[in-house]
């Protein structure tokens, strides 16, 4: 089982940057594909970025070139660097860990608000 704790959300002006971090418990962290999802009010949860256990990444079209996902196997963390933030990036951001054999886990979420 994996427990995920997000941090780093907050209020930022348009054009600003934030860095989200997700700390994962458990010794099998390296086996999971890690992802960041977000959910805005009245909208469905959507994938923002993901990184496989092999290091391959994929991004939503809306964040390509602005967001970067990375993972530190030794520290059991996955980060999301968000630059050039826009008001439409405002949402609750969730960390996710998934593995076909070991399961699918979610963090509690962290609020990101982009507003002047």
Contact 49, 106 (CB under 8 A): no
The pLDDT, as a whole number, for residue 77 is 95
Place 26 in a pLDDT band, splitting at 50, 70 and 90.
confident
> What is the average pLDDT value for the chain, to the nearest integer?
95
pLDDT in tens, 89-114: 999 999 999 999 989 999 999 999 99
Alpha-carbon span 114 to 91, nearest angstrom = 9
């Amino acid at each position: 089982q994996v427990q995920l704790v997000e941090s780093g959300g907050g209020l930022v002006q348009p054009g600003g940057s934030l860095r989200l971090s997700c700390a994962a418990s458990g010794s099998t962290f390296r086996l999971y594909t890690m992802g960041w999802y977000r959910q805005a009010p009245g909208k469905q949860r959507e994938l923002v970025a993901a990184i496989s256990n092999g290091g391959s990444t994929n991004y939503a079209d809306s964040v390509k070139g602005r967001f970067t996902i990375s993972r530190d196997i030794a520290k059991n963390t996955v980060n999301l660097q968000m630059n050039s933030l826009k008001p439409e990036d405002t949402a609750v951001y969730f960390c996710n860990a998934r593995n076909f054999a070991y399961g699918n886990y979610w963090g509690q979420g962290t609020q990101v608000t982009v507003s002047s």
